[in-house]
Amino acid sequence: MPNPMHGKRTASPVINASLALIEVDRAITDLRRGGLVIVRDAKSIVLIQAAEAITADCLARFVKLAGTTPTLAVTRRRAAALKLTEPTQEPRGTVLLALPEGVEARYLRYLADPAELAVVSGAAITARPTWPGDTADAAVELAKLARLLPAVLIASLTADAAAALAARESILTLTAAEIVDYQGAAARSLRRVADARVPLEGAEDTQIIAFRPSDGGIEHLAILIGNPDPAGPVLTRLHSECFTGDLLGSLRCDCGDQLRGAIGEIARTGGGVLLYLAQEGRGIGLVNKLRAYQLQDSGFDTIDANEQLGFDADERIYLPAAEMLRQLHFLRVSLLTNNPEKVASLTRLGITIVERVPHVFPANGHNERYLRTKATRSGHLL
């Protein structure tokens, strides 16, 4: 079904890409505040709503607007955690859960969130995998982009019904491709928007440079220390933001030590850059990280906790980092990291890794299990 905004697009492909980013960003906002979104591809059109926003009134309205009993789209990891599907060699992907008629909102929230108490649904739930990149897959990806639990209420619509519903209820319509392509397109659209000299403790000759995507989304920062030679190799650290560790000094992780240690090491060696990436909680967001912490307190390790919530062990992407390095003209780097995936990702994205520089800090009495899991299950070189 054509989106009114799509029909008005006559600008260049670059502008078209920016409009697509803006539409996805608007849909993210709608989903976060409990709103509805329509997602379409060449084969199907669906109405969606984030599962964690569902109340009894919301569910009744959704059923009324859709005209049918909805299904729940969850990740394959979440379906396996619920024992509705068997664990597989390929745990990625989306599963549709057929819901019994008259299902209660609180049961939907239980299916989405391991912190919710289970209630009797009154009927068995069947699970059916979907095709990668289809509307259900894109709908769950949109929930992830919104930093919500990766579970959405979903109902099929005809083209005519979708058009009427979008017009009557002012519901935004997106294509599945726009959602799936969003992170890459946003990273490629990053532009330098501001910079300032910010003397830091132990690194007084420091400049902070902000990069913003064209949809006006959250900025990534480059902390430039000294005056590194672009001919390189430039000592570089990729650091994903960690509110609890970086700002509050949490002892559950080693993020604060890594941040401050990297700034000190870069300054000591004469200069380099630390990229501060807006990817809290390995890309799942602060709220979901706190949910994962709650699961860790009940016995799960950091990877299993993410997977119980329905996320991959690590949801980060490194295209923003590669784009920032390109714009800074740092194409040859010495990478300050213990994570081989960062080396592999930047290499795939065209950045030459001259060497990997170890970046290890001692355990503090609270994060031994966290560090052990990083080493034994994530392959970190600790």
- Residue 344 CA, chain-centre distance (Å), reads 19
Radius of gyration of the chain (CA): 22
341-352 pLDDT per residue, tens: 999 999 999 999
- What are the start-end ranges of the E strands in 15-166? 37-40, 45-50, 71-75, 94-98, 126-129, 151-157
Q: What is the pTM of this model?
A: 0.90
220-252 pLDDT per residue, tens: 999 999 999 999 899 999 999 999 999 999 999
pLDDT at 354: 97
240-290 pLDDT per residue, tens: 999 999 999 999 999 999 999 999 999 999 999 999 999 999 999 999 999
Residues known to be catalytic = 314, 316
8-61 pLDDT per residue, tens: 333 334 445 688 899 999 999 999 999 999 999 999 999 999 999 999 999 999
Instruction: Walk me through the domains of the chain, giving residue ranges and CATH numbers.
Output: 4-180 (3.90.870.10), 191-279+316-376 (3.40.50.10990)
